[in-house]
Amino acid sequence: MDASSKKKTSYTPLIVVMGYLLFFALVLILCLASYFLNYPLQAAPKNIFATSLPAATPSPHVSSTLQSGYARIFEDNFSGNQNDWMNIQGSQNSQIKDGKLLFESLRQGKYEIATCIHCPSLNEPFFLQADIGTDTLTDKNFGFVFTMNCRCASGYFYAFEINPEHKSYSFYYHYQDNWSLRMVGESDQIRSYPAVNTLGIYANKSSLEFYINGKIVDSYQESGAPYQIGLFGFYVDDSGFKLTAGNLIVYKAGGQ
Amino acid sequence: MDNNAPKTTSRYGWVATLAGVYLVILYMALCAVASTVGYDNRQKIPFLAGTYPTPTATVVPTPEILAHRPGDYGAVRFVDFTYGLNDWRLYYSKGKVEAVDGKLVLQSNADGYVAIAGNQNLILPGGKYYIQADLITDIDTDQAYGLVFGLDNHLANYYLFEVVPRIGMFRLLKHTQAKWSELVPFSPSHGTIKSYPEVNTLSVYFNNGEIGLFINGKSMASYSDKEPFQFVGVGGFVDNFGFRLIMDNFFAYNDK
Phi, psi of A74 (to 5 degrees): -160, 145
State which fold the B73-254 domain adopts: Jelly Rolls (2.60.120)
Identify which of B5, B12, B103 has the shortest CB distance to residue A49: B103
Cβ distance of B109 and A5 shorter than 8 Å: no
d(CA A62, CA A74): 17
Nearest chain A residue to B60, by CA? A49
Q: What pLDDT score was predicted for residue B56?
A: 46
Q: Which of B37, B52, B25, B19 is nearest to A29 (CA)?
A: B37
Q: What pLDDT score was predicted for residue B57?
A: 46
Domain boundaries, chain A: 1-42, 56-252
Q: What pLDDT score was predicted for residue B43?
A: 64
d(CA A39, CA A48): 24
- pLDDT of A194 above 70: yes
Q: What pLDDT score was predicted for residue B45?
A: 65
Q: Which of B110, B111, B129 is nearest to B119 (CA)?
A: B129
What residues in A contact B23, CB-CB < 8 Å? Answer: 16, 19-20, 23
* Mean pLDDT for the stretch of residues A153-166: 93
**A55-69, A212-226, B24-38: the lowest-pLDDT one:** A55-69
* Mean pLDDT for the stretch of residues A218-238: 94
Q: Which of B235, B114, B239 is nearest to B186 (CA)?
A: B239
* Per-residue confidence in pLDDT tens, chain B, 256 aa: 444 545 555 566 777 788 888 888 888 888 888 888 777 777 666 555 555 444 444 555 678 888 888 887 778 999 989 999 989 999 988 999 999 999 999 999 999 999 999 999 999 998 899 999 999 999 999 999 999 999 999 889 999 999 999 999 999 999 999 899 999 999 999 999 999 999 999 999 999 999 999 999 999 999 999 999 999 999 999 999 999 999 999 999 998 8
Q: What pLDDT score was predicted for residue A36?
A: 78
* B46 vs A: CB within 8 A: no
Cβ distance of B82 and A224 shorter than 8 Å: yes
Architecture of domain A56-252: Sandwich (2.60)
Average pLDDT for chain A: 88
Q: What pLDDT score was predicted for residue B1?
A: 44
What does each C-alpha distance from A237 to A108, A174, A179, A190, B29 come to in angstroms? 9, 12, 12, 18, 84
What residues in B contact A8, CB-CB < 8 Å? Answer: 9, 13
Interface of B with A in 125-154 (CB under 8 A): 136-140
Q: What pLDDT score was predicted for residue A1?
A: 45
Q: What pLDDT score was predicted for residue B242?
A: 94
CA–CA–CA angle B158, B85, B109 (5° rounding): 65
Q: Is A34 helix (H, G, I), strand (E, B) or coil?
A: helix
* B88 vs A: CB within 8 A: yes
pLDDT digit string, tens, across residues A16-41:
888 889 999 999 998 888 887 777 66
Total beta-carbon pairs less than 8 A apart between chain A and chain B: 154
**Cα A64 → chain centroid:** 16
Q: What pLDDT score was predicted for residue B49?
A: 56
Domain boundaries, chain B: 5-49, 73-254
Provide the shortest C-alpha distance from residue B101 to chain A (in Å). Answer: 6
